Amino acid sequence: MSTKVKVCFNGCSFTAGEGFDSSQRKLHAYDCVLADQHNWDSDNIAVNGSSNHTIFLRSARAIQSQQYNIVFTQWSALNRIWLSPGPETYYFINDLRHPDYSYRDLYINQQDKKKLNQLLLLLNHDYQNILDLVCYCRILEQLAELNKTRLIFINGLVPWQSDLVQPLSQDLDSALSKYTKEILDFENRNDREIINYFSKLQQQVSTLDFSNWVNMFDSFQSNVCDTAPARHHPGVNSHQWMINQINTYLGKL
């Protein structure tokens, strides 16, 4: 009897199947459907609200465990930050479920929490977060090679655009996407500065192995066409889109 392929799915709430109850998850969440279609023995280690740093750490541990033939890593929003005010307790700035925050004798009311979150977002720019994401990917690629594990990346909520891997023309205004212009502060920099910073981003992104990506510049979030029965997360049709993307990718391997 052949041994089943052992697969790990990691990411944020999109991969965790947030919005579906347990019975609905089995029918519709993309990891469950794929595991059933391919007869995989699968684990889902995704955690709601995860930052890319925490996703990176979980995937690294999954690869190093040598338990899995395939590790799917779905990257989340670039600006998510997790802080830890105490043992096994966390504060993350994208948590919209709770208007205030308390831990032991620490209390942050709704107004102060909003100000704190806004300040942290201002201090946490996507330019550096893209460089960090590239670093996470490169480390995981090396770990996967050492541990003979197939590593597959999924773009869950990363807003970067394909102009990051395309030649830059002299007409910067038409060559760069709206998002890239935003992270480069296009309107307030001269051409020399724009070219310098863009070139550094492009040089780093170009070091990635694009063949490891299901949907590098076509994020899951940008293709959400319906919502799950509970909460504002991808619904049945959206998960089916992701299933189709992954199956198309697997068919090319």
DSSP codes of every residue in 11-77: -SHHHHTTTS-HHHHHHHSHHHHHHHHHT-EEEE---TT--HHHHHHHHHHHHHTT--SEEEEEE--
Report whether 219 contacts 158 (CB < 8 A): yes
Rounded CA-CA distance 100/225 in Å is 31
pLDDT digits (tens, 9 = 90+) for 27-66: 999 999 999 999 999 999 999 999 999 999 999 999 999 9
Spatial contact of 143 and 63, defined as CB atoms under 8 Å apart: yes
Q: What is the pLDDT of residue 1?
A: 43
Structure tokens at 88: 């096994």
Can you say whether the dihedral through the CA atoms of 92, 117, 16, 138 is positive or negative?
negative
3-state secondary structure of 90: strand
Could you tell me what percent of the chain has a pLDDT over 90? 86
Give dist(CA 160, CA 174) in Å, integer. Answer: 16
Q: What pTM was estimated for this model as a whole?
A: 0.93
Domains of the chain: 6-79+127-162+210-251 (3.40.50.1110), 82-123 (no CATH)
pLDDT of the residue at 94: 73
**Angle at the Cα of 92 from the Cα atoms of 67 and 32, rounded to 5 degrees:** 40
Average pLDDT per consecutive 10 residues, the chain (253 residues; last block may be shorter):
86 96 95 98 96 97 98 96 90 78 92 89 93 98 98 98 94 96 96 96 96 98 94 94 98 92
Of the candidates 42, 64, 60, 59, the residue with the CA atom closest to the CA atom of residue 147: 64
**DSSP strand pairing (150-155 vs 106-108):** unpaired
